């Protein structure tokens, strides 16, 4: 791909944004290599966050793990596992970073707005306006079993609860007027009259009556992120979010189609079509040459999909226990046993396992693949692979043509998995004028180039396009 001409593209001055996602429970983070680090040592979190900040990343993200992954009622022991409470860990990182945003993935299905909004507001104040909230929902009963009411919510009900949750949270964040606190010791009163407003909300999901306890931070509200890819999820993001994550970042045409769909939904929601940042999740593998990058990718995939992991993934598809089989041998001869997939191992529900198995068998036979090679080849295709120069050209093309605003990077190695990106890729992006050379603001909202929070805008502001 040739370098993008900045005079012949729709967004010649667009800048690429990077976030880093510390995954926690998963099998994509390599735990068995000699230079793999701990998933729970505070030093690992600190090293990743500070490396990202050195690379001028917008944000550091932590997930919320409400329950360890299980298969057939047993803890799945092939994953790395180690998600401390996200807000607690991010508060610690606020003390050892200066600019990078700190984003908590916190669940709206099993949290309560008065509590979570206050903790997020506390993080926003402690970090001086660098907090964000990735609003997620949960659809599985095995996580719900941790909570008194148990069970789970239907898909549409999850988003109705999330939207009402966010409405209450925003009301709490807006409960204090700007400038309502005394600015000097000589003031007659600590707070101005009516500077703090009581919040009363009664709806289908929540019944709240309280006085907010914390003022707003320098950025007004924590930045709102959202990751749903369904129609309901995209509409929720168009109405509510500042940033959306997606799985549409590998192929340019697919990414552009997703971006166009989101912009249509934004306009339908009465918002400017550039009001939402699109950050697909991705993995970035860098080599000095294209061949070296491809070889590095092969090594990474073999580390990520170990023989036991391959058998575990295939066992969920077949619906039978494949442990003890030869992962480097042929695919199982048995037909799949169709059962209800409960979401264990993080697997998506498979509508027609027999059809998927038939496809796997046909392609494995055509290519001479083993079971493990089939799982790697036909499983989720993650990320971008190439040289620093080639990837910089590719990413510049993506962002300047409006397919993305950046990437949320998932390192395959902790704590050093960002080093190649920061040391090799970022300088190439800066040379092309598509990546910042310094932070120009202090808050996460400023890093992302976002407007004021939605509840702080006038009706005219909300209708303005661009």
Concatenated DSSP letters of 74-128? EE-TTSB-----HHHHHHHHHTT-SSSEEEEEEETTTS-HHHHHHHHHHHHHHTT
Alpha-carbon distance of 59 to 61, in angstroms, equals: 6
Please check if 105 is assigned to a binding site: yes
Measured CA distances, 421 to 113, 380, 384, 385 (Å):
37, 22, 12, 12
Peptide bond into 432 cis (omega under 30): no
Please check if 339 is assigned to a binding site: no
Question: Are the C-beta atoms of 127 and 103 separated by less than 8 Å?
Answer: no
- Report residue 38 CA to chain centroid gap: 21
Sign of the Cα pseudo-torsion (343, 409, 413, 54, in order): negative
Closest by CA to 70, choosing from 79, 61, 82, 62, is 79
Please check if 370 is assigned to a binding site: no
Alpha-carbon distance of 118 to 349, in angstroms, equals: 35
CA dihedral 43, 49, 52, 54 (to 10 degrees): -80
What three-state secondary structure class fits 10?
coil
Q: What pairing do the DSSP bridges indicate for beta strands 207-210 and 223-226?
A: unpaired
Closest by CA to 223, choosing from 135, 310, 326, is 135
Tokens of 48: 């990743």
Please check if 155 is assigned to a binding site: yes
Alpha-carbon distance of 345 to 316, in angstroms, equals: 9
The residues, any chain, with a CB within 8 Å of residue 47's CB and separated by 6 or more, are 37, 415, 416
What three-state secondary structure class fits 145?
coil
Strands, E assignment, 7-100: 17-22, 59-62, 70-71, 74-75
Alpha-carbon distance of 278 to 248, in angstroms, equals: 10
Query: Considering all CA atoms of the chain, what is the largest pairwise distance in Å, rounded to the nearest integer?
Result: 82
Sign of the Cα pseudo-torsion (140, 142, 143, 149, in order): positive
What three-state secondary structure class fits 324?
coil
Can you say which residues are annotated as belonging to the binding site for FMN? 105, 155, 159, 230
Q: Which positions make up the binding site?
A: 105, 155, 159, 230
């Amino acid at each position: 791909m040739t370098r993008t001409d900045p005079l012949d593209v729709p967004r010649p001055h667009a800048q690429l944004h990077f976030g880093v996602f510390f995954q926690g429970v998963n099998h994509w983070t390599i735990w068995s290599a000699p230079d793999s680090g701990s998933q729970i040592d505070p030093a690992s979190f600190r090293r990743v966050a500070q490396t990202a900040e050195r690379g001028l990343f917008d944000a550091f993200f932590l997930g919320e793990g409400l329950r360890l992954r299980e298969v057939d009622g047993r803890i799945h022991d092939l994953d790395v596992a180690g998600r401390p409470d996200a807000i607690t860990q991010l508060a610690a990182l606020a003390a050892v970073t200066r600019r990078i945003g700190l984003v908590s993935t916190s669940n709206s299905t099993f949290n309560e707005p008065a509590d979570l909004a206050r903790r997020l507001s506390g993080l926003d104040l402690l970090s001086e306006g660098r907090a964000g909230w990735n609003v997620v929902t949960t659809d599985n009963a095995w996580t719900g079993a941790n909570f008194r009411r148990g069970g789970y919510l239907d898909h549409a009900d999850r988003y109705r609860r999330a939207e009402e949750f966010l409405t209450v949270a925003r009301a709490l964040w807006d409960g204090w007027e700007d400038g309502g606190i005394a600015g000097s010791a000589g003031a007659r009163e600590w707070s101005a009259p009516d500077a703090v407003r009581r919040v009363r909300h009664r709806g289908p999901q929540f019944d709240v009556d309280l006085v907010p306890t914390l003022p707003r931070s320098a950025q007004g509200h924590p930045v709102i992120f959202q990751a749903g890819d369904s129609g309901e999820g995209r509409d929720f993001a168009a109405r509510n979010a500042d940033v959306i994550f997606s799985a549409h970042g590998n192929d340019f045409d697919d990414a552009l189609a997703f971006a166009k769909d989101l912009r249509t939904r934004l306009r339908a929601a009465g918002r400017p079509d550039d009001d939402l940042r699109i950050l697909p999740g991705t993995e970035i593998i860098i080599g000095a040459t294209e061949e070296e990058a491809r070889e590095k990718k092969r090594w990474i995939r073999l580390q990520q999909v170990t023989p036991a992991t391959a058998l575990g993934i295939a066992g969920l598809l077949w619906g039978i226990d494949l442990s003890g089989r030869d992962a480097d041998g042929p695919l199982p001869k048995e037909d799949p046993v169709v059962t209800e997939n409960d979401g264990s191992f993080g697997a998506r529900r498979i509508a027609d396992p027999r059809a998927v198995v038939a496809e796997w068998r046909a392609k494995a036979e055509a290519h001479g693949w083993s079971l493990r090679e089939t799982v790697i080849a036909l499983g989720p295709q993650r990320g971008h692979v190439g040289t620093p120069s080639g990837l910089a050209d590719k990413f510049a093309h993506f962002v300047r043509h409006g397919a993305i605003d950046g990437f949320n990077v998932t390192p395959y190695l902790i704590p050093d998995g960002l080093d190649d990106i920061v040391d090799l890729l970022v300088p190439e992006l800066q040379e092309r004028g598509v990546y910042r050379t310094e932070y120009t603001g202090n808050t996460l909202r400023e890093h992302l180039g976002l407007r004021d929070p939605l509840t702080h805008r006038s009706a005219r502001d909300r209708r303005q396009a661009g």
